[in-house]
């Protein structure tokens, strides 16, 4: 009996869209390409240095979803929607030369989940109807398509509660464990799984405390919100809280730190039509970061927190001008 195909699937870690994209690909591949394939998941984090470590692509098939491009000849599938998808010009040229038919880049998509659903259904005949709920919420969450900031902060839906756990649970390796379930379970069932439920209550309590904390920490000058949370364990804070507290603001700039990086986040207020003047991905690229036109980030080494603070303040000044 032949050995099952081994698949290394790399996805954007601690991100609902990354997890949902991985779940869509997992189900697609096992239904339409190689039934019985064995998957090994690796969560990827944006860092100041090269994110793809030697020996990472060890599968018969090596897949990247919702994360930067790799020109490694061992990568067989790639899906992404970020403006800053290519680390180098050479990577972009390598992608343009690719004729595998298995690599897809569409920055006009608000989520990689929707990109994957559309491509796999159109190109490979995959039935995405059973995943309609997941695709719908992947697009809302990653595209910030909530009707109001209050609805984004309430976390009253199973999808937003699951997103909170995915982004902020203090358990390494949690997301890879739930991707197979996410590929076939309704979201209301997902939040009841013990691995998710044990984190949800404490994280919801922390979320509500963080609203008061950010009310104290945020300052607004000329329509730009600035706050520094680097002395707190709040890497997975809700990025819409600043706009609920300051609905007239156009942009937000923040600084956080974790064991793996110091991070500057730059966002635009989805509910303020005056927040589209600047391309935030292009702005972040000036400092080695990237993202989307309306939300971006820059990663530094954890010990480079002072550099991160300096860059955050410089970006805030640019946005105020």
Please indicate, yes or no, whether residues 166 and 53 belong to a single structural domain of this protein.
yes
Question: Taking a C-beta distance cutoff of 8 angstroms, is the pair 251, 227 a contact?
Answer: no
What DSSP state is assigned to residue 13?
S
Is 209 inside any structural domain?
no
Please indicate, yes or no, whether residues 171 and 24 belong to a single structural domain of this protein.
yes
Q: Sheet harboring 224-228: ordered strands across?
A: 219-221, 224-228, 251-257, 262-268, 295-300, 290-291
Q: Could you give the maximum distance between any two Cα atoms of the chain, in Å?
A: 67
pLDDT at 102: 98
**What CATH number has the domain bearing residue 151?**
3.90.1640
pLDDT at 259: 85
Residue-wise pLDDT tens digits, 28-76: 999 999 999 999 999 999 876 678 999 999 999 999 999 999 999 999 9
Domain boundary among 127, 161, 194: 194
Is 204 inside any structural domain?
no
Please indicate, yes or no, whether residues 120 and 48 belong to a single structural domain of this protein.
yes
Measure the CA–CA gap between 11 and 164, rounded to whole angstroms.
17
Please indicate, yes or no, whether residues 179 and 306 belong to a single structural domain of this protein.
no
Is 22 inside any structural domain?
yes
Please indicate, yes or no, whether residues 251 and 316 belong to a single structural domain of this protein.
yes
Residue 233 predicted with pLDDT over 90: no
Residue-wise pLDDT tens digits, 185-229: 999 999 999 999 999 999 999 999 999 999 999 999 999 999 999
How many C-alpha atoms does 81 have within 13 Å on its Cβ side? 21
Domain hosting residue 71, numbered range:
6-194
- Helix, strand or coil for residue 4? coil
Residue 140 predicted with pLDDT over 70: yes
* Least confident interval from 103-107, 196-200, 255-259: 255-259
Please indicate, yes or no, whether residues 183 and 224 belong to a single structural domain of this protein.
no
Measure the CA–CA gap between 55 and 49, rounded to whole angstroms.
16
Residue 38 in tokens: 């064995």
What does the mean pLDDT of the chain come to? 95
Please indicate, yes or no, whether residues 190 and 227 belong to a single structural domain of this protein.
no
Domain boundary among 194, 227, 242: 194
Question: Taking a C-beta distance cutoff of 8 angstroms, is the pair 113, 21 a contact?
Answer: yes
- The pTM assigned to this predicted structure is 0.93
Residue 80 in tokens: 């992404």
Please indicate, yes or no, whether residues 254 and 165 belong to a single structural domain of this protein.
no
The Cβ of residue 96 has, within 10 Å, a number of other Cβ atoms equal to 9
Total number of domains in the chain: 2
Find the mean pLDDT for residues 264-273: 96
* Least confident interval from 15-24, 100-109, 123-132, 228-237: 228-237
**What CATH number has the domain bearing residue 264?**
3.10.310.30
Please indicate, yes or no, whether residues 189 and 235 belong to a single structural domain of this protein.
no
Is 229 inside any structural domain?
yes
pLDDT at 46: 82
């Amino acid at each position: 009996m032949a050995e099952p195909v081994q698949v290394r699937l790399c996805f954007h870690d601690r991100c609902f869209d990354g997890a949902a994209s991985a779940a869509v690909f997992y189900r697609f591949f096992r239904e339409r390409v190689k039934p019985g394939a064995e998957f090994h998941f690796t969560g990827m984090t944006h860092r100041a240095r090269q994110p793809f470590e030697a020996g990472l692509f060890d599968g018969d098939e090596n897949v990247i979803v919702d994360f930067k491009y790799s020109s490694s000849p061992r990568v067989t599938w790639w899906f992404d929607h970020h403006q800053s998808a290519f680390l180098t010009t050479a990577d972009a040229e390598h992608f343009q030369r690719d004729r595998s038919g298995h690599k897809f880049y569409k920055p006009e998509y608000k989520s990689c989940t929707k990109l994957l659903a559309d491509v796999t259904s159109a190109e490979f005949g995959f039935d995405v109807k059973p995943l309609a709920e997941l695709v719908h919420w992947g697009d809302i969450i990653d595209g910030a398509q909530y009707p109001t900031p209050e609805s984004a902060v309430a976390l009253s839906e199973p999808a937003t509660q699951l997103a909170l756990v995915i982004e902020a649970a203090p358990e390494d390796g949690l997301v890879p464990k739930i991707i197979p379930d996410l590929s076939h379970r309704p979201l209301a069932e997902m939040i009841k799984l013990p691995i998710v439920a044990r984190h949800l209550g404490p994280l919801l309590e922390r979320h509500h405390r963080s609203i008061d904390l950010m009310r104290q920490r945020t300052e607004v000058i000329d329509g730009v919100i600035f706050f520094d949370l680097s002395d707190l364990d709040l890497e997975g804070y809700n990025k819409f809280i600043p706009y609920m507290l300051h609905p007239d603001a156009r942009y937000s700039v923040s600084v956080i730190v974790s064991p793996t990086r110091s991070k500057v986040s730059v966002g635009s207020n989805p509910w303020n039509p005056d927040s589209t003047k600047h391309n935030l991905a292009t702005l972040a690229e000036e400092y080695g970061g990237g993202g989307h036109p309306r939300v971006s980030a820059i990663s530094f080494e954890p010990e480079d927190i002072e550099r991160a603070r300096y860059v955050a303040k410089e970006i805030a000044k640019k946005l105020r001008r």
